[in-house]
Structure 1
């Protein structure tokens, strides 16, 4: 059976995508796992988000996603959406409890490699059931020939969340990773060891994917790669100038041309503290190797991309720092038009 799922990089021509939803967006309790991932300010557990503010963020994000859907549909991309998440859904596991955060970011909880779609073993307790709103779509893709896999469901005891000065890690008790820890470049996948992914998770993924893929363990930033290093197409990178230098680009990618992004424009945030830095402004989504969706307020980045020969499609995204994700985070390319897995290095 030919699968309806196929994607091995972030630049082949896009044909089908899952776009998250802000419906049901909530603010989970600040527990040890939230502190480990977000590193929030002192007193963050006392945050009170006004219901009117929360509703405005949801409404405006859904407006922005409607605009993005129009852009993608006009580019002949099929856009799929998850089921809405019931607001404030609580759950408990062995020794802890939390509340669901959102269904905004399929990029974090699902990894697509070839015709496989893999549920990630996420390290934040509030995200334990984050894949649930996408399950209907996963069943559809499975029925259409995709391989639907899930990493071992983690237990996430307190001992998971370790701190070492100058280093962001999670303990090696069980395989852990967010799918957004990956930079997919065909036969080569770069895996960021960080506070949202450990080496045991890399070992699990390496064994599942097999010898056709090379998994490179790197450590470039404290969590996901999309605000630090982006592969726009073979031979062209987008890099965070505050976090990286030419010497810290992963060695196999150093021969690629790099667009160095200076500090992006700050959108601000609607809650008491932001869930993302200003660098969420470089979290772009490629429609194809020469066409990319970029937040419309990031004019300096737009000029840099155009100078590199890219066609830029500006789109509004008002609350990326509020909920912690950009266009790449909030979407998952399910199918890109491409052939066999090849090495671009």
Structure 2
């Protein structure tokens, strides 16, 4: 297949209602066990906190979470000088700056299931010190590090999870709060501050891993009940995105969390299953549900990092035969615990 045909074919397939991977094969969104199980969860699903693991190091303000085998990675921002807001805008097409740069340091920490730090790497470069949500593509962890203000700029790093060696791969002219590599289409996906702009990038890499964006597009996020903070690729052409939004109520400010399953096979991202989260952390060993008057109604567990996986079958129960294991790592006073929840997956309906 010639180079020109390889460039044109994905566009033709997209117009036909499908997508192509880098080998020219048609690739639509396809479930794996994790995405299929997640589709069965509802607002009434039972959440059971199974562990709240304390870290043996300051985690600062946590952002993104990755799990590879039994090892975890979390990105975090250490705030030294807070930003100051001097203007506001709700116009998605207005890319003007609205805050001072502030000062801080960006980190990626590696730790085990007991909360022991195994390694770290600093990802600070000038005013860019705010790491975001991240993901692992089977070879590298991709981490965005942005200026701590909307409409700014971001450095995209690829990190070797074994050596923790970080390389600045490419740059984006916006604050990118999360990023992942769609290996089916060989595209990168992410979102802006507050996840109001949903981005897709085509990136050309040289032999050393240095990348140049060859095509960039964004579309307004159709989801408004939460702002995405962290995203995770799953199945084929799907991503999980989680986060929160804080609401003013007559009883005070309350945070609502959520995790959404999003189809990224087409021209625009399409949410296909949205799961609200009302589990709250009190900063200690326990987590509480909203109905039990949590100690901090603004600290929903999906603030900010999360990771989703389906675990092996278990004996049949009334709730179901499988469970989703969902990891969260909210922070309070520069400290965090890894909160591990098991969520029962209902029985699949009998197709016979």
Structures share fold, TM-score greater than 0.5: no
Structure having greater relative contact order (Cα 8 Å, sep ≥ 6)? 1
For the pair shown, which has the larger CA radius of gyration, 1 or 2? 2
Q: Which has a greater percent of strand?
A: 2
Q: Which has the larger helix fraction?
A: 1
In which range does the TM-score fall when normalised by the shorter chain?
A: 0.3 to 0.5
